[in-house]
Structure 1
Amino acid sequence: MTDKTVAAASPTSGDAAAAGTGAEMPYARATHAARGTGRVDAATGAVVSPIHVSTTFERAADLSYPRGRVYSRADSAAYDEPEAVLTTLEGGAESMLFASGMAAAATLFQALPQGARIVAPEVMYWGLRKWLIDVARPAGIGVAFVDMTDMAALAGALDGGADLVWIETPSNPLWGVTDIAEAARLAHRAGAVLAVDNTAATPILTRPIEHGADIVMHSATKYLNGHSDVLAGTLTVSVGAAGDPLWQRTRMLRGMNGSVLGPFEAWLLLRGMRTLAIRVERASANAAAIARHFSGDPRVRAILYPGLPDFPGHDIAARQMAGGFGGMLSLCVAGGRDAAITMAGRLRLFARATSLGGVESLIEHRASIEGPTSPVPDDLLRVSVGIEDVGDLIADLDRALGR
């Protein structure tokens, strides 16, 4: 057994990693998430990993570093196990932890060559969209926003060339679905790297590398941690892209910028991933039940959820999401902005708060958060469905919607 993979064994599930995709995963995703690397602490026999807090490491007498570590800003022992677990879950070559999802994405963008061009979704996490507009463009990086549910639009945008194609699927907060395999084909034909924000789907439901992606990003604050008590981000690279200068420069910038998280936060992230599968499965089942319950309700103008058969992109989502459609949905409330805000104010069980992917259910009026340039309808409430009893969740929403 090694620190990086679970010991080899006969596959016990169809979830076993496809040949050539990267780290071994002889067990189902749920098993691997729960057991992690399977490493037992050699000194104590502890089945729970110790927290490594040292920031510096001793040289040998000849001033070399025989243990391979110099300084925790670039290479902390605290990162080894959570990075190894995520690498195997995503089927990649290696992963890196960052201080936040924004730090992970921004570091990747900063690693692009001068004058690079990025093609990104029209609808995506608003903070990253704002970063691309307010930071990347003034720094000389070209950014084109396109409808990533329309592969013809992506192909047209790539006619002008690109270095990086960034997609997010399902996309926050309209939950549009992008065909990862087709996006990868178009990106690679144009000579671009394909990076996928997999925060909402998680590797339990979607493994973008299996569909041709080169790099996978997570705001690990969300589902990977799952308890709303850690700020973290991750990048995972495919086997084929691991030697690319973009990935190597990203690793260098992580160390130089110091955009890393502390050892306790890394340990909390590892602990959170142990329950990732069961949390995602429960949240997905709850979200699907809520979407079905309110589908066609006259108090709701629209329900945006990839699991509904009539949702645009449902067939693509069904093909690339295994075992569920995620715990995120949006309600567009009949009556517009004021009705939506009033409805959110009546809720007792759902917390009115930013973020997603925790065990608790959250709701938020996104247009108020994103401001006047937001592409989000002003009657939309973004819902992060937690793991509570679904009957209680439905009753709370039903009461808040009124008669």
Structure 2
Amino acid sequence: MSQRHFATIAARAGIAQDPAHEAVTPPMYLTTTYRLKALGQAGAYDYSRSNNPTRDLLAEALAELEGGAKAIVTNTGMSACVLALQLLTPEDTLVIPHDCYGGSYRLFTNLAERKRSFKLEIVNFQQADWAERIQAAKPAMIWLETPSNPLLQITDIRAVCQLAKQLGSKVVVDNTFLTPVLQQPLALGADIVVHSTTKYINGHSDVVAGALICADQAIGEELKWWANCLGITGAAFDAYLTLRGLRTLLPRMQQHQANTARIAEFLQQQPLVSQVYYPGLAQHPGHAIAKAQQQGFGAMLSFDLAVQPALLQVFLDALHCFTLAQSLGGIESLICHPGSMTHASMSPEAQKTAGIGPTLLRLSVGIEGIEDLLADLAQGFAALDAAIQAASTPTGGAGSAKNQVSAKNSNAEATEVPPQQESSQSFRLNPALTALW
């Protein structure tokens, strides 16, 4: 692990290292090929799919930030996942969490079922029997995502790594949500860390790329060989932009987190919100573990609206600072409906098992002024309240949503309702979610 501070590593990535002209900011090497001095005398670089100076600067910075021996920069976050899977054979078993990112879930399940690339075991790491399930599976690799996407569930990385060591299993951790600034899985015993650098590491929503960092040099060299063989290494221009974004990673994450903490508190006070998922809240079931293994709680949070799914668009239409869009981790604030967007590739049964309900919304909180973000969300809830009042029948007793929604009783069971109250009761709790709490 480097002795330099994270801010220094990130800010000075590639700075004052130009061997040609002593440029302070490193130049971008767009060249695809390099001159050989003579037959059989290749230098450090010969072809940019294999090696590129700009890409190497980014890889070195990421390896130092994560405390790893070797980093490989890939052309997407998903290709970083594909790269890690090259360590498996058809006889090996891969364990994945039941609530991982939808794109990862799609990759794992289809490679296992359609290509027979490996055997697959899906484990709920939030249940008490997770260790027994893993021991029975005897996996070659365990894949972790903590905090999870989109419900921000926390897995004890150190505990999983200790068990994996006993079983001879490798542990891969998707660290996209927190970045090395807020969590260092390799220091907790993991073997490999993967990132979608599209997200916070780049931070400006203008590059699609990924990275994989290995604790072991030999494994890193093997995976670098596979990256070149498969042709999934990242482009020089993408690496250049990602390096530029990386230099402001720490101050960006600080502002992201400050805004997110305020928004989490705000959402807890909203009668039309039935559940808030954010590890920074003391009542979050993973709060203690997150506090122990993280250096912050991140800038992602999710919440369930206690309304009928048909009213989701009312809320979304009223927002102006939060943009309805895929992805996360940029300086701008985004809102996402996981069930129909990021996790649409999961079957309804898999979504239900993962706890993804029809009114679940995920926020990627940006670095805008917090008062503007809070006002934007308040505007959304006001629009919902107005829609609910407009839909109320005279016999139902039109009133504020606060009187119509029992949002804080997340363990409430369905009770018999008089006919004259059925209309307002339909907005009280999302029936699809009552079985999940």
Q: TM-score, normalised by structure 2?
A: 0.83
More deviation, 338-347/164-173: 338-347
Counterpart code for 1:206: Q
Indicate conservation of the 8 Å contact 1:328/1:385, yes or no. yes
Residue in 2 that maps onto 1:282: 255
Deviation of the 1:89 alpha carbon:
0.6
Residue in 2 that maps onto 1:73: 49
Residue in 1 that maps onto 2:370: 390
Residue in 1 that maps onto 2:65: 89
Once the two structures are superposed, the pairs formed by residues 320-335 of structure 1 within 5 Å of their partners are 320-322=293-295, 324-335=296-307
Residue in 2 that maps onto 1:155: 132
Q: TM-score, normalised by structure 1?
A: 0.89
Tell me, in whole angstroms, the C-alpha distance in 2 between the residues paired with 1:249 and 1:28: 29
Residue in 2 that maps onto 1:6: none
Match of 2:218 among 227, 230, 243: 243
Residue in 2 that maps onto 1:9: none
Indicate conservation of the 8 Å contact 1:101/1:220, yes or no. yes
Tell me, in whole angstroms, the C-alpha distance in 1 between the residues paired with 2:306 and 2:136: 40
Deviation of the 1:62 alpha carbon:
4.1
- Per the alignment, in what secondary structure is the counterpart of residue 331 of structure 1? strand
1:273 counterpart = 2:246: yes
Counterpart code for 2:323: A
1:30 counterpart = 2:7: yes
Tell me, in whole angstroms, the C-alpha distance in 1 between the residues paired with 2:127 and 2:241: 38
- Per the alignment, in what secondary structure is the counterpart of residue 395 of structure 1? helix
Indicate conservation of the 8 Å contact 2:176/2:200, yes or no. yes
Tell me, in whole angstroms, the C-alpha distance in 2 between the residues paired with 1:351 and 1:289: 19
Paired-residue identity, %: 36
Tell me, in whole angstroms, the C-alpha distance in 2 between the residues paired with 1:38 and 1:275: 13
Deviation of the 1:345 alpha carbon:
2.2
Indicate conservation of the 8 Å contact 1:147/1:154, yes or no. no
Counterpart code for 2:364: S
Residue in 1 that maps onto 2:179: 202
Query: Which runs of no fewer than 5 residues in structure 2 stay unpaired?
Result: 386-437
1:145 counterpart = 2:122: yes
Residue in 1 that maps onto 2:81: 105
Deviation of the 1:78 alpha carbon:
2.0
Q: 1:61 to 1:162 in 2, by over 3 A?
A: same
Counterpart code for 1:180: I
- Per the alignment, in what secondary structure is the counterpart of residue 95 of structure 1? strand
Once the two structures are superposed, the pairs formed by residues 127-206 of structure 1 within 5 Å of their partners are 127-140=103-116, 141-150=118-127, 152-206=129-183
Counterpart code for 2:251: I
Residue in 2 that maps onto 1:307: 280
Deviation of the 1:148 alpha carbon:
2.1
Indicate conservation of the 8 Å contact 1:344/1:364, yes or no. no
Once the two structures are superposed, the pairs formed by residues 112-127 of structure 1 within 5 Å of their partners are 112-127=88-103
Tell me, in whole angstroms, the C-alpha distance in 2 between the residues paired with 1:302 and 1:93: 41
Tell me, in whole angstroms, the C-alpha distance in 2 between the residues paired with 1:220 and 1:209: 17
Residue in 2 that maps onto 1:10: none
1:291-326: CA deviation from partner (whole Å, max 9, x where unpaired):
01221421101110000000011000001111x210
Indicate conservation of the 8 Å contact 1:340/1:365, yes or no. no
Once the two structures are superposed, the pairs formed by residues 246-261 of structure 1 within 5 Å of their partners are 247-261=220-234
Tell me, in whole angstroms, the C-alpha distance in 1 between the residues paired with 2:225 and 2:123: 30
Indicate conservation of the 8 Å contact 2:200/2:329, yes or no. yes
Once the two structures are superposed, the pairs formed by residues 54-69 of structure 1 within 5 Å of their partners are 54-65=31-42, 67-69=43-45
Match of 2:360 among 380, 384, 392: 380
1:338 counterpart = 2:310: yes
Deviation of the 1:163 alpha carbon:
0.7
